[in-house]
Amino acid sequence: MQRLKFTKDEGSAFYKELSEKIDSHFAEKGISKTGNAIMYFKIFLYFGLDILFYFLMLKSQTPFEFYAYYLLMGLSVLLTAFNISHDAAHGVAVKSKFWNKVLFSLSFNLQGNNAYVWGKNHNESHHLYTNVEGSDIDVLNNPLLRMTETQPVKWFHKYQYIYAPFLYLFYSINWFFMRETLMLFNYSSRTISIHIPKHEVVKLVLFKFLYIGYMIVIPALLLPFGWGVVIWAFFLNHFMVSLIFIGVLGVSHLSDYVSHPVADENQKLDMSWPKLQMCTSVDYNPGSVFFNWTLGGFNAHALHHLLPNISHVHYLEILPIFRETAKKHGITYMEMSYGHSLASHFRFLKKMGAQSHYLPKPYAR
């Protein structure tokens, strides 16, 4: 992975004042930046729903009932990841470092994915070098979808805005079966190299088998519907999870409003880290109680990237401070409705598939 240097600019002053104002806000209120009673309620709610739907799935009397509870469980597990796993990965779900680690590891590993790999690369790659190819693990290097200017334009890319949703269906399946498996051999289809400690390799393999065991083998053995019904449920669940996941996160960084900065020959970007976060992230409905509650604050991505040490349960309170400080320093804060951000995502796909050179669309409120 390319380690980059940043340049001091207006974003530096913006971030300094923002941090001071946020610290003052929490000090004046006498509250912690970590999760509060709402977060504790969410922890019990979502883990409770995970267990409940799994139990009801194993008690299903008909294939329709089985599919319904299986997919509801999959949705609940995804919402657990949005609301609990993500905050815990940043150490802000609860005050205890130990319990943050437990919550993160439990909720992530039980999905068949490796918590260490995701947490390390998310924090040290994506959060640090957002949208910079070669440094951000979440910047795709996939010949089927052209996402950056460095990828050559192929004839089929002009249709990618049409076939992309079909490929999105396989995002979660690819993650489970391919992405982390390739990492075991220190290879990745992403844009950075991966190294996994030996004990994490053991955990990665173990939890994948465990996941297949309780998601496929146990239901197939205990229920009279047959292996085919269970395997179809497994894939349908991953298709659903993939579409929701991409629909929630893809529109934030894959938009025709955002930039894909390129470092110079000295591995230096012509902007500060705070400005990088603001020009590579789109927030949709950041003031929405519904989106904040359901998506765990993922809809306020720029805010989260700049303030990862704050639980999403506080975002609605600090959003006015964030907006005001950005405006004061002349920093563009890109916020819009979800419909607008989704349209922007598909415009981005269309432009990247038809143009060798890409320029972000000017943002105007």
DSSP letters, 177-203, are: IIIHHHHTTT--SSSS-----HHHHHH
Q: What is the pLDDT of residue 2?
A: 67
Tell me the C-alpha distance between 332 and 278, whole Å.
7
The answer to whether 5 and 268 have CB atoms below 8 angstroms apart is yes
**Does some domain include residue 234?**
yes
The answer to whether 280 and 102 have CB atoms below 8 angstroms apart is no
- Cβ neighbors of 285 (< 8 A, separation 6 or more) are 291, 299, 337, 338
Structure tokens, 22: 């946020």
**Does some domain include residue 98?**
yes
The answer to whether 316 and 292 have CB atoms below 8 angstroms apart is yes
- Cβ neighbors of 279 (< 8 A, separation 6 or more) are 258, 259, 261, 271, 332, 360
Structure tokens, 180: 């982390």
**Does some domain include residue 5?**
no
Q: What is the pLDDT of residue 122?
A: 78
Task: State in Å, rounded, how far the first CA of the chain is from the last one.
Answer: 36
The answer to whether 301 and 277 have CB atoms below 8 angstroms apart is no
How many angstroms separate the Cα of 131 from the Cα of each of 26, 69, 87, 157, 261?
31, 37, 21, 20, 7
Tell me the C-alpha distance between 245 and 171, whole Å.
9
Tell me the C-alpha distance between 122 and 133, whole Å.
14
**Does some domain include residue 298?**
yes
The answer to whether 203 and 121 have CB atoms below 8 angstroms apart is no
Domain range for 129: 10-354
The domain tally of the chain equals 1
134 φψ region: left (φ > 0), alpha (ψ -120 to 50), beta (else): left
Angle ∠(175,176,179) on CA atoms, nearest 5: 45
Q: What is the pLDDT of residue 167?
A: 94
- Structure pTM? 0.91
How does pLDDT run along the chain (365 residues), one tens digit per residue? 567 889 999 999 999 999 999 999 999 999 999 999 999 999 999 999 999 999 999 999 999 999 999 999 999 999 999 999 999 999 999 999 999 999 998 888 778 887 877 777 777 778 888 888 877 777 766 778 998 888 889 999 999 999 999 999 998 998 888 777 776 666 554 545 667 778 888 888 888 899 999 999 999 999 999 999 999 999 999 999 999 999 998 899 999 999 888 888 888 999 999 999 999 999 999 999 999 999 999 999 999 999 999 999 999 999 999 999 999 999 999 999 999 999 999 999 999 999 888 888 889 87
**Does some domain include residue 361?**
no
**Does some domain include residue 259?**
yes
Structure tokens, 186: 């220190």
- 3-class SS string, 61-81: CCHHHHHHHHHHHHHHHHHHH
- β partners of residue 336: 284
Q: What is the pLDDT of residue 192?
A: 54
**Does some domain include residue 3?**
no
Tell me the C-alpha distance between 50 and 103, whole Å.
14
**Does some domain include residue 2?**
no
Q: What is the pLDDT of residue 191?
A: 47
